[in-house]
Structure 1
Amino acid sequence: MKEILVLYYSHRGSVRALAEQIAHGIHQVPGAVARVRTVPRVSTVCEAVADDIPAEGPPYVEERDLAECIGLALGSPTRFGNMAAPMKYFLDGLAGAWVNGTLVGKPACVFTSTASLHGGQESTLLSMMLPLMHHGMLIAGLPYTEPALNETRSGGTPYGASHVAGQEGSAALSADEIALAQAQGRLLAGYALKLAVAR
Structure 2
Amino acid sequence: MSDYLLVLYFSRDGATAEMARLVARGAEEGGLEARLRTVPPVSADCEATGPAVPEAGAPYATMDDLANCAALALGSPTRFGNMAAPLKYFFDNSSGLWMKGALSGKPAGVFTSTGSMHGGQETTLLSMMLPLLHHGMLISGLPYSEPDLAQTRDGGTPYGPSHVAGIDGKLPLTQVEKNLCQALGRRLAHLAKALKGKL
Normalised-by-shorter TM-score class: over 0.9
Deviation of the 1:198 alpha carbon: 1.2
- Unaligned runs of 5+ residues in structure 2 are none
Q: CA offsets per residue over residues 71-119 of structure 1, 9 Å max, x none?
A: 0000110010100111111111111011011100000000000000000
* Kept after mapping to 2: 8 A contact 1:10/1:76: yes
Q: Percent identity over the alignment?
A: 57
Aligned ranges 1:80-119 → 2 under 5 Å = 80-119=80-119
- Higher helix fraction (1 or 2): 1
CA RMSD between the two structures: 1.3
1:139 aligns with 2:106: no
* Kept after mapping to 2: 8 A contact 1:113/1:163: yes
User: Where in structure 1 do 4 or more consecutive aligned residues deviate above 2 Å?
Assistant: 44-49
> Matched residue of 1:43: which SS?
coil
* 1:66 corresponding residue in structure 2: 66
- Between stretches 168-177 and 145-154, larger displacement belongs to 168-177
Deviation of the 1:48 alpha carbon: 3.1
TM-score normalised by the chain length of structure 1: 0.96
- Between stretches 186-195 and 43-52, larger displacement belongs to 43-52
* 1:56 corresponding residue in structure 2: 56
Q: How many residues align?
A: 198
> Matched residue of 2:21: which SS?
helix
Deviation of the 1:170 alpha carbon: 1.6
In 2, distance between residues paired with 1:183 and 1:146? 8
Amino acid at match of 2:19: L
* 1:75 corresponding residue in structure 2: 75
* 1:154 corresponding residue in structure 2: 154
Deviation of the 1:159 alpha carbon: 0.1
In 2, distance between residues paired with 1:29 and 1:170? 30
Amino acid at match of 2:169: G
TM-score normalised by the chain length of structure 2: 0.96
